[in-house]
A = this chain, B = another copy of it.
Amino acid sequence: MNKARLEAFSDGVFAIIITIMVLEIKVPHGDDWNALKPLIPVMMSYVLSFIFVGIYWVNHHHLLHTIHRVNTPILWSNINLLFWLSLVPVATDWMGDTHFASHPVAAYAILLLLCGFAFTILQLHIEKKIDKNEKLQHAFDMLKRKGIISILAYSTAIAFAFVNTTVSGCLFLFVSFMWFIPDKNIERALNEE
C-alpha cells in the first residue's frame, strides 16, 4: 500500500486543525484598538498552538519520508496521532479564554504529552518498516532522545502549572525550539543514500 493517501488525509487534517483554531478568535465588537485587547491571550495561545501543529506537520513530513509503503499499524497509529492533535484547538481555546489559568495550562501540557506519545508510537511502527543504514539509525536514535526530553519537559510543565504557569509556558517554548530543527539528521541520512 502506498503512502500517498495517508499523506493526503493527514495533510487535510493538519490543515483543518491549524485553521479551525482561528475560528475561536471572535471578531471584536468595538471598532478601535481597545476592542483587540481581549484578543491578546487568545492570540498568544493561537500562536503557540500554530507553532506546535506546524512542528508536528514538519516532523510528520520527515518521518513519512523514510518509508515508501504503509501497513495497517502505521495507518492506525497515524489516526491515533491525528485524534490527539484534533483536541489541540479545544485545549488552546480553554487556555486562551481563561488567560492561562493553572488547570487549562496543565490540561494543555497533558494533551501535548499525549500527542508526543502518539508520535512516538507512529515512529516506532515506521522504524520497523525501514531498511536502516547507520546514519538513519542515528537519526532515529536522536528522535527518540528528543522524544524523551519532551516527555520530561511536558511532565515538569504539568507540575509547574499549579505553581507558576510562566515556567510551563517557557517549557512549551523550549520544546518548540528543540523540535524546530528536527530533520537535519533524517534529511542528511536520506541524502547520503
Which among B32, B93, B107 is the interface contact of A103 at CB below 8 angstroms? B32
Question: A-side interface residues toward B, CB under 8 Å?
Answer: 1, 4-5, 7-9, 11-20, 22-25, 27-28, 31-33, 35-36, 47, 50, 54, 57-58, 61-62, 65, 71-72, 75-76, 79, 82-83, 86-87, 89-90, 93-94, 97-98, 101-104, 107, 180-181, 183-184, 187
Whole-angstrom distance from the CB of A99 to the nearest CB of chain B?
9
Hey, which chain B residues are within 8 Å of A47, CB to CB?
83
Answer whether A5 and B1 are a contact pair too, CB < 8 Å, given A19-B86, A27-B97, A86-B50.
Answer: no
Whole-angstrom distance from the CB of A36 to the nearest CB of chain B?
7
21 cross-chain CB contacts under 8 A: A1-B61, A1-B62, A4-B7, A11-B12, A12-B12, A16-B20, A18-B82, A19-B86, A22-B87, A23-B23, A25-B90, A27-B97, A31-B94, A31-B104, A32-B103, A36-B107, A47-B83, A50-B83, A50-B86, A57-B79, A76-B180
